[in-house]
C-alpha cells in the first residue's frame, strides 16, 4: 500500500506541478487560447494564485516525506489539492465542460486516497 501511495503522490505532484507552472508563467490570454477557457471567468491574479497553490501542493506531496521534515504536511497538501479539485469541478460544471470534470474527479480521488493513506495506517 505504501508503494501505491507513493505512486499516487508522484502522479499528483507531476500533474499539479506542470499545470501550476503554466498558470504562473503564462498570461490569461495564452491559457485561454491553449484550451483553458475557464480562465475567462477569473482575474489574472486569481489564476496565478491557483497556480501557486498547485505548485505548493505538488511540492508538499513529496518533499516533506523525502526530507523527513514535517511529513504530516503530505496529507495536508493532499487535502489542499483535493479542495482545489472540488473548486475546479464546480467551475467546469457551471461552464458545462463535462470532460474536464472527469479529470477533476480522477485527480480528486487520487488526492483523497493519498490523504486517507497518509493520515491513516500508512502515515510516515
Tens of pLDDT, residues 13-57: 999 999 999 999 999 999 999 999 999 999 999 999 999 999 999
Does this model's pTM top 0.75? My answer is: yes
For residue 66, count CB atoms less than 10 angstroms from its CB and return exposed for 0-12, middle for 13-18, buried for 19 or more. Answer: exposed
pLDDT score of 121 more than 90? no
pLDDT score of 5 more than 90? yes
Tens of pLDDT, residues 49-92: 999 999 999 999 999 999 999 999 999 999 999 999 999 999 99
Best CA proximity match to 107, nearest among 91, 90, 83, 72: 83
Q: What is the pLDDT of residue 83?
A: 98
- The model's confidence at residue 124, banded by pLDDT at 50, 70 and 90, is confident
Q: What is the pLDDT of residue 123?
A: 87
**Looking at 8-12, 94-98, 119-123, which range is the least confident one?**
119-123
Domain ranges of the chain: 2-119
DSSP 70: S
Tens of pLDDT, residues 91-110: 999 999 999 999 999 999 99
Amino acid at each position: 500500500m505504501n508503494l501505491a501511495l507513493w505512486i499516487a503522490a508522484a502522479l499528483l505532484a507531476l500533474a499539479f506541478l506542470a499545470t501550476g507552472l503554466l498558470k504562473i508563467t503564462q498570461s490569461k490570454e495564452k491559457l485561454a487560447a491553449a484550451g483553458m477557457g475557464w480562465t475567462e471567468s477569473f482575474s489574472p491574479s486569481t489564476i496565478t494564485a491557483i497556480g501557486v497553490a498547485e505548485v505548493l501542493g505538488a511540492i508538499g506531496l513529496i518533499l516533506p516525506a523525502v526530507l523527513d521534515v514535517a511529513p504530516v504536511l503530505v496529507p495536508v497538501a493532499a487535502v489542499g489539492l483535493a479542495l482545489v479539485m472540488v473548486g475546479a469541478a464546480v467551475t467546469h460544471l457551471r461552464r458545462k465542460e463535462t470532460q474536464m470534470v472527469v479529470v477533476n474527479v480522477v485527480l480528486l480521488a487520487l488526492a483523497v486516497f493519498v490523504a486517507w493513506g497518509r493520515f491513516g495506517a500508512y502515515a510516515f
